[in-house]
Structures are given as structure tokens and as C-alpha cells.
Amino acid sequence: MSSIDLGLSFKAYDVRGIVGETITAATVEATGAAFVDVLSLAGQTVLVGGDMRPSSPEFAAAFAHGAAGRGANIVMLGLISTDELYYACGSLDAAGVVFTASHNPAQYNGMKMAKPGAVPVSSDTGMFDIRDRAQKYLETGIPDGTETGTITETNVLSGYAGYLRSLVDLTGIRPLKVVVDAGNGMAGMTTPAVLGDSLLPALPLQIVPLYFELDGTFPNHPANPLEPENLVDLQAAVREHGADIGLAFDGDADRCFVIDNTGAVVSPSAITALVARREIARARAAGEEHPAVIHNLITSRAVPEAIAAAGGRAVRTRVGHSFIKAHMAEEKAVFGGEHSAHYYFRDFYNADTGMLAAMHVLAALGEQQAPLSELAAEYDPYHATGELNSQVEDKDAAVARVLADFAPALAGDPAAGGTAATAANCPAAYAGTGVSVDRLDGTTVIADDGSWWFNLRPSNTEPFLRLNAEATSPALLTTLREHVLARVREAA
């Protein structure tokens, strides 16, 4: 029996491990059996697919064997993106799993799981129960089920592509030249199906493909567009081809980053604001008075401002897709966006899909004549640091040092929050500025005059304190960033 500790690969929202070390065919088979038992799926359909990583077919077969042995009827989906799984789970009202490690390097693989209707499986909704049951099966063996389920195959790519096209009509836009960097990931398969003419009639889009060959060894660059160095090839190609827009997808194609016509990155906050405006307009046209839009607390202040201006209702949440998805359901929100380029849609079963977000951007661009650089500037009026990490052992002490300058009354009380205070020892640029502090996720300090804010958020797994800050001018942002980082790193 296996001695692998599943706690090394089971995370709060998914499973990710090193192939052959922390994730193996044996651990996957046990997980398939536990998935069925914990979610009471015996006699029901379970969908199983995988991305282009070399280990995905073996793992998908092992999961199917374990799940069928406990009585589930398995439908093998073959090669799929993560948002294809969500489409299948939503449209077929079935539970499912996709084998992927998203943007992680080639030696990794993992699982993203969903309940029927594409409801996510996380630590709050059964993930760790599945881990514990699978660990037991690894140690004692998987018991025989009362019945063995069937294993059949189907393909959902055509249905997925057609469904996305039904949500955003691109047939009437002006012709656009679009460079797409698939990073050798699943967008190399989904882009021709949705935006090209491999399955459906051609759209007024000239697609310039970059790294469309499915290759889970990632021979060209890591499939992680969050890292600027992985966007360099796309930016160069946009300029070389005189393209209107560039799109970069991560390995499992559930995230999409956007490059404008000059080769500059359009911030995910700007994309969130742009798509929010479109989705609010559509919902209001259907009779909703104030459609809710979800955004996490470190997206730009431009996001809630755009939501309010469009007649929507902004709902601020913690960072993390489980929080976003939970609020999407609770608020019946029409859309949700994160700084990490995850975009969630009510019409897509409250799940995230990079392709649908990209289609909204293409529609917004193609419905008017201005270049994307001008269109995006409307949604990006502020200046932001991005996420800056500091290695700090005593994170609470570091936050207290910062609060001693900005909100001294709260510095000694990590549980305090929501109280107005006055900046004390911080630079002259902030002297006398009223601030408020909240602890929805980490510690956020917000200037009452709206000129700046910053958030300090501790990593749960590493000795890092993460800073995100935004201000109305580059000079103000520089002063804010340098002061906060200096205080955070004082004793580092």
C-alpha cells in the first residue's frame, strides 16, 4: 500500500503535486473512489477529462477506474480545458474532474473538481473529506462497491464552443487581427473551436497563432501569463503583425491576459471593469435594477466605480476563487473578476472562463473604432504596484509597524478594524490624511480622500507578506510603496 501523504498535494481549492512523487496513479485511483463516496455519486454520472500534460491520460483512466469501482457511471471527455469541464458539469448537471496543474511546470499535475452544476469542490465543500477518505483507501485498499459503474466516452468541445458563441455575438464586429499565445496549453485546442472556423462558421477575426501545439512539457515558455517574462513573445508578435489585440491563456485556459495594440498589458482590473459594464447593461436590459458584480479587495478602485456608474452593485470579497464563487451564488451576481485574471459569469454556471472574458473584450473592441489602448485607458485611471512580496517571519509585527504610522490607535490590536484614524508618522504627503482600516482579507488602509490605498496580506503557506497599493499619481504611489515596504522589511 502507498505511503504517500495526500496532505502534500491536496490544497484548499484543488489538488497539485509532482508526478511520481506526491501524485501517482495509485493516489488518483483512491481519490476517484473517495470522490464518489464522499459526494454520494454512486449510480450517478461523473465526468473525467484532462489537459495536455503527459500524465493526464493515465491519471484520468486511474480516476475513472476508482470511481467506477464505487458505482459511478463515468463519461470520459478526453482532452479538455478547465472551463470545458465547468461547461460540461453545468450543461449535463453532473459532477466531474479535470486533470491539470494549470500554470505549474511540466513535472506537476493535479485535479480540479466540481459537483453537479459546476459547483466547486473546495476545503469548505468536501475537498479535505475526499483527501482523508482517499488516504484511508491508500492504506487499507479500496473496498468493492455493490455495483461497478459503466465507462463511456463523449466530446463536449462543439457544445462548449457553440454555448460561448451564444453568449457573445461576434458576427457583426469590425474585422480584428488577434494574436493568441496558447503557451502550448489547452487554448491551442479551444481557440480554433471558439474563435476560429474549425467547428463553427468563421468570425471576422484573423487569428495569428502562437504556440498552439499541445505540449505539456511547455517547450517555449511556462504557461503562466501572470509572470511578465511569459508575455514577451506575445507582445513582440502583436507589434510585428500590427495586431489589434493579443490574448495569453494559461495552461488549462481558464485565465486570459490581454495585450493592447501597442504591446502593453491591459490590467485585469481594467478588463473586469470593461466586462462588468457590458454584463450590467445586458442584465438591466432584461429587467434587473441593480445587478451585482463581485470583485476582490485588491482589484483597482476603478472597478467598483465603473460598476456603480453602469448602474450595478459592487460586492467586495476576499481573494480566492472559492470566495468569489460563493458570493456569485449568494448575490446572484451577473459577473465577477479578480486581479489574477480569473473572470466568473452567471451565464457560465458561476464558473470562471478565460475564453468568455476574451470574447467580451473582442466584442467591446470590435463594436467601436478606437484602438484597445484608448478603450482600456478609460478603465485604468489609477496607478498600482501589482503584488510585491516581502519575506517576513513575524507578519503581525510587520503590519503593526505600518499601522503605527498610518493608524496608530489600531497598531497594537490585530483584531481591530473599520475604525477611522489619522496618519501620524508617515511621509508629509499623507500627513493629516484621514484613513480607515479593514481586515476583510489581511489589512487594508484606505485614504478618506480616495487618493490611495494599500493592502498587506499574509501568505498562508510561505513567510511572505504581500503588498498591493494604488494611488492617483505615480509620485504618490512611489512614496507610499517605499514607505510601507521599508517598515515591513525593517527587521527582515
From the candidates 102, 269, 322, 340, which is the catalytic residue?
Answer: 102
Cβ neighbours, 10 Å, residue 394: 13
Instruction: Specify whether 9 is catalytic.
Output: no
Cell numbers 456608474 correspond to 309
- C-alpha 357/C-alpha 168 separation (Å) is 10
Instruction: Yes or no: say if 271 and 337 are a contact pair by the CB < 8 Å rule.
Output: yes
Taking phi over 0 as left and psi of -120 to 50 as alpha, with beta for the rest, 474 belongs to alpha
- C-alpha 150/C-alpha 45 separation (Å) is 9
> Could you write out the three-class secondary structure of 57-95?
HHHHHHHHHHHHHCCCEEEEEEECCHHHHHHHHHHCCCE
Residue 398: φ, ψ to 5°: -65, -45
Q: Where are the alpha helices (DSSP H) in 1-147?
A: 25-38, 56-69, 82-91, 127-140
Distance from the Cα of residue 278 to its chain's centroid = 20
Q: Is 188 strand, coil or helix?
A: helix
Return the bridge partners of 422, or none.
Answer: 434
Residue 311, C-beta contacts closer than 8 angstroms, at least 6 positions apart: 280, 284, 289, 290, 291
Give, for 356, the enclosing helix (H) or strand (E): helix 354-366
Cβ neighbours, 10 Å, residue 374: 12
Q: Which residues are catalytic?
A: 102
